[in-house]
Each structure stands twice: as structure tokens, then as C-alpha cells.
Structure 1
Amino acid sequence: MSLLVKICGLSTRETLDVALEAGADMVGFVFFPPSPRHLSLEAARKLGSRAEGRAVKVALTVDADDATLENIVETLRPDILQLHGKETTARLRDIKQKLALPLMKALPVETAADLAALPRYAGVADRILFDARAPKDATRPGGLGAPFDWHVLENLDLALPYMVSGGLNAGNVAEAVRVTRAGGVDVSSGVERTPGVKDPELIRAFIRAARATDPSSPLPAYGERSTAQRAGG
């Protein structure tokens, strides 16, 4: 199966179009006010309509309440929810029951001890995202441009699909995939000029580098991706 590539924190028509044309499998939209990538519902509606049927739409939230999640789902019509806060497994079950959408749970990683919670979440989530643990004084849990020690995942035995994030860029994505054997990669700050401002050329470079990690998955021509990739499979 080809590596899945997710470009997260998209906030403009131009950069969304670049990500789609360059062959991103997943496009992420952030709904978290402290983030420089936070979207209003109206902006999300417009961007979501452009991505419809072209990539898997991911809505990223952080400890959002039911009303917020319902508004996001109604507006964006995401294919999957990314829960990036301190949501418990009970909260995941509750969300899945109410919204009937696949869930991707982000787990902060710094040392092997951080994997202790993995079995619990793997029993509920549909996909796991391993991200670098944020510093204690950080105002948001992700998108900080810092990698974690990928060797923590080196011998991971997990049947559930998983992705890696945190400090990825075109220069290190190949090594991250080699060490972690992840089925997908997720980038945000690594394709930005400044926090929250995506760079089209960095997006293209990242997707090229990610595709090059898998000889069976050459860089597609703009707009050409496999059916499996479009489905997020």
C-alpha cells in the first residue's frame, strides 16, 4: 500500500489547490483558536467544497465539545475527525457514536513510556497519529515544528493504521518513514514560510520527497492519484 501524505493546516484556496494538484491524499483543516492555522466555519465551507472528492478531508480539533464538533461536521463534511487533545477513550466512543465518523487520535510521543496508552486508544480509534510531545509551556499540542525520536516506534507492532507527524519536512521525511515504517506522514509547519502561512513550493517538495520513499509509488502527475489514495486506504 502506498504511503499516505497529509498536508495539514491549509487555510487558503491557493495552497489547498497546490496540495491537491501535487497529489496529497489527505488535507487537514484546523479548528482550534490558539493555532495560527485556525479556520472559521465559513472559510472551511469554501475550502471543503474545493477538496470534495479529490482528497480525504480531515477536521482537526482539540478537546472540542459536542456543539463545536457538530458545527464542524455540518459545515466541512469531513471524512475523518482528528482529535489532537487529551480526549479519553470514553470520549472517543461518545464522539463516534454521535457523529458516526472515523476517528484519528493523536498521541504525543517523547519516550517509549508514552506508548503505554496506545492499546486503549487502538481499541477505539480508526487511525493513530504519533506526534511530538509539546513543551509544558506550549499553547497548542501540535504544529510546533519539533520532531520526536522516531526510534521509539522502531519495533512497533500495531495492526491499526498509523501516521507520524512533528517536525517533518522534505529533508527528513524519508528517514522518518524508514525508521517508523509508518503508513502515512503528516506535515504542517514543515511546509510553511511563517507560522500558519503555507509555501506552495515547500508543499510540492514535501510530497515529492514523501513519494520517493516508496519506489512503487512514484510522484503522480498533477491531479492523478489512485482510487485507493483518494479513499484514504
Structure 2
Amino acid sequence: MTPRLKVCGTTSVQDAVLCAEAGADALGFIFAPISKRLVTPHVAREASLSVGVTVARVGVFLGQGLDEVLRLAEASRMSVVQLHGPLSPEFVETVAQFYPVLRVVKVNELQTEGERWAGDPRVTLMVDAPNPGGGVPLEWEALKAVWPAGTWLAGGLGPENIREAIHLLRPAGVDAVSRLEREPGVKNPQAVQAFVDAVKRS
């Protein structure tokens, strides 16, 4: 089964349309203030409206309070919320009452978080590298023994390695950013299309 495909770090309407037309299933919009791919709610909203409802719009958050997460997600027309960082189960549970949640975890949290959210259709796990957006892949071979079905994979994915990652782990979804850019926040159209094509052929 072909995994769902998300291109993260969208910062413009132009790149949102580019990724959607290339075949991405989801676009990520980063609202974490520390990110070099930070997007404004206005631009995220315009980009969301430009791609229509068939493409998921994922708001990415780190270190923000519950009210801010929900306010930004609504203002920018997000359809999914992606949560990074140390958060209480109650925080995740509350967000999940309003939006489907991609809960990003580290490798050493995978088993615990997998057990915590097993059977909850509102919360999907995503495993990312220690430095999200840094372009460094995880050790996929070592993850095979603990990989829960239905989990998404991120971290250093690009056209040149995505088929190997999918073959080893069979993730439910894949998420890429740094290897699909000309510079942080600016997409490379050729890399985006090559990534999409590689995923679809896997």
C-alpha cells in the first residue's frame, strides 16, 4: 500500500500549488516560532484555500499553548494538527477533539506512545529525527523491530532514499522538507516531483 505523502515547510501560495499539483496528499505549515520555515496565518490561509479540500493542510506546532494552537489552526484553515515536543496526554486529547492529530515522537518514545494511542483513530504517530527539518535520516533498519503499523516516518527523507525507507518500514505516511528545498522555506520543483514519483512507485 502506497503511503500518504506530506511535504512540509510550505511558506507560500506558489509552493502550496506546486506541491499539490505534483501529487502531495498533505502540506505542512510550520507555526513554531523557532523555525526558519515559519509561516504567517494569513499566508497559510491563502495557501490552504488555493489547494482545496482534497489536500490535507497540516499545522505544525512546538511549544505553543492550547489556545494558540487551536486559534492558529482555525484562522489558517488547517485540517490536521501536528504536535511536537513534550506534551501531556490531556493536551493531545483536547486537540484531538477538534482536529486529527499527528503526534510526533522520538524513537525512544515510540513504544510507550504507540501503546497510549493504540485504537484511537484521532491520533496518528509520526517518528522524526532528533533535529526535525535537519535533513538527517534515522536508522531505519534498527526501527524495524519496534515499528507499529499505521505510523508515519519523517527525518532526512528525499528522492534518493525514500524507496529504501518505505521498503524497510512500510510507513502509513512519509514527510519530507529539507531535501525538497532550494533554501529553507523555498521548494525545489524538480526535487518535489522526484520525491512524489518515487513514493508513488514504491
- Same fold (TM > 0.5): yes
Aligned twin of 2:144:
154
Q: Displacement of 1:16 after TM fit? A: 1.2
Structure index of larger Rg: 1
1:14: Cα distance to partner?
1.9
Do residues 120 (structure 1) and 120 (structure 2) align?
A: no
**Does the aligned pair in 1 maintain the 2:42–2:76 contact within 8 Å?**
no
Hey, what's the Cα distance between the residues in 2 that align with 1:14 and 1:201? Answer: 14
Letter aligned with residue 81 of structure 1 = V
> % of aligned pairs identical?
30
| 1:184 matched residue in structure 2 | 173
Q: How far does residue 194 in structure 1 lie from its aligned partner after superposition?
A: 1.8
Is the Cα–Cα contact under 8 Å of residues 15 and 199 in structure 1 kept in the other structure? no
Q: Are the structure 2 counterparts of residues 123 and 65 from structure 1 closer, same or farther at C-alpha, using a change threshold of 3 Å?
A: farther
Task: Give the alignment partner of residue 199 of structure 1, picking from 179, 188, 198.
Answer: 188
2:198 is matched with 209
Would the alpha carbon gap of residues 157 and 168 (structure 1) be closer, same or farther in structure 2, given more than 3 Å must change? closer
Structure 2 residues not aligned, in runs of 5+: none
Deviations along 1:167-222, one digit per CA (max 9) or x if unpaired, are 00100000101111112110011101222221111111110111111xxxxxxxxx
* Structure 1 runs of 4+ with >6 Å offset: none
**2-side partners of 1:145 and 1:93: how far apart?**
30
Deviations 1:57-82 (CA, angstroms, capped at 9, x unpaired): 11111132123112212212222110
Structure with higher RCO (Cα < 8 A, 6+ apart): 1
Determine if contact 1:51/1:57 at 8 Å carries over to the other structure: no
TM-score (normalizing by structure 1): 0.80
| Contact kept in structure 1, 2:117 and 2:123, CA below 8 Å | no
Residues 31 and 61, structure 1, Cα contact 8 Å, conserved in 2: yes
**Cα distance between partner residues in 1 of 2:47 and 2:88:** 30
RMSD between aligned alpha carbons?
1.7
Specify the alignment match of 1:133 in structure 2: 130
Show the counterpart of 1:171. 160
Paired position in structure 2 for 1:145: 135
**Equivalent residue pairs, number:** 200
The one-letter amino acid of 2:185's match is G
Once residues 211 and 30 of structure 1 are traced to their aligned partners in structure 2, the CA distance between those partners, rounded to angstroms, is 25
- Structure 2 counterparts to residues 1-233 of structure 1, below 5 A: 1-97=1-97, 100-109=98-107, 113-118=108-113, 119-122=115-118, 126-134=123-131, 142-156=132-146, 158-159=148-149, 161-213=150-202
Unaligned runs of 5+ in 1: 135-141, 214-233
Q: CA deviation at 1:10?
A: 0.8
- AA of the residue aligned to 1:191: L
1:69, 1:180 → 2: CA distance?
A: 31
Residue 121 of structure 1 and its aligned partner are, at CA, apart by: 4.1
How much does 1:23 deviate?
0.8
Query: Are the aligned partners of 1:150 and 1:179 in contact in 2 as well (CA < 8 Å)?
Result: yes
Inter-partner Cα distance in structure 1 for 2:14 and 2:37: 15
Letter in 1 for 2:61: T
Per the alignment, in what secondary structure is the counterpart of residue 128 of structure 2? Answer: strand
8 Å contact 1:20–1:54 — kept in the other structure?
A: no
Match of 1:229 in 2: none
